[in-house]
Amino acid sequence: MKKYFLPILAVVIIGAIYAFNKFSVQDSNDPWTEKQLMNPADLAKMLNDSSAKLPYIYSIGFGGGIKKSIEFGPAEDKANLEKFKTEISKLSKDADIVIYCGCCPFKNCPNVRPAFNLLKEMKFTNYKLLNLSNNLKTDWLDKGYPITETK
């Protein structure tokens, strides 16, 4: 039995590493770390708590939708990215900031990387990407999380 323990343990560890990498939303080429991804449920909880201190929430994609967010349009467009830069330059470098797009899975999204990199370049210290790894509909709307009210 002992002679089989180490090979079996090695297979289990390799399998776990493979599974983690396969299902992780973190790609080695992405500018964010796992710690810089915000769970949608956490932001929804904050939005539903009237006493919570909210971060600045910016939509840098094709449409807003999340309650209390400010929409800038797709960050792949240099004019929109410049508007975003002008807005965030008014904030302190330690401001709590959450950005999101939600148009498509992160691996295909043309908007999250330019906005995320801008925050990094501007030396902000408390910024996160909302983990809408599939899209806004699947990861936010379908879960009934708070949305902007239409008039």
Mean pLDDT confidence for 48-53: 96
Q: Position 144: which residue type? A: G
Instruction: Evaluate if pTM is beyond 0.75.
Output: yes
The confidence band for 64, taking pLDDT boundaries of 50, 70 and 90, is confident
The confidence band for 15, taking pLDDT boundaries of 50, 70 and 90, is very low
Instruction: Decide if pLDDT at 56 tops 80.
Output: yes
CA distance linking residue 90 with residue 58, whole number of Å: 14
Mean pLDDT confidence for 86-98: 98
Residue 97: helix, strand or coil by DSSP? strand
Q: Find the DSSP H helices in 27-121.
A: 40-48, 78-88, 112-121
Mean pLDDT confidence for 12-16: 44
**Exposure of 101 by Cβ count < 10 A (0-12 exposed, 13-18 middle, 19+ buried)?**
buried
CA distance linking residue 58 with residue 68, whole number of Å: 9
**Which is more confident, 89 or 64?**
89
Domains and CATH numbers, the chain: 26-143 (3.40.250.10)
CB-based contacts of 32-36 (< 8 A; 24+ apart in sequence): 32/116, 32/129, 36/116, 36/127, 36/128, 36/129
Instruction: Decide if pLDDT at 151 tops 70.
Output: no
Among 17-31, 101-115, 117-131, whose mean pLDDT is lowest? 17-31
CA distance linking residue 23 with residue 145, whole number of Å: 23
Mean pLDDT confidence for 103-115: 93
65 within 8 A of 59, measured Cβ to Cβ: yes
Mean pLDDT confidence for 108-117: 95
Instruction: Compute CA distances 55 → 7, 42, 67, 82, 94, whole Å.
Output: 48, 12, 12, 21, 11
Query: What sign results for the dihedral spanned by CA atoms 71, 134, 128, 76?
Result: negative
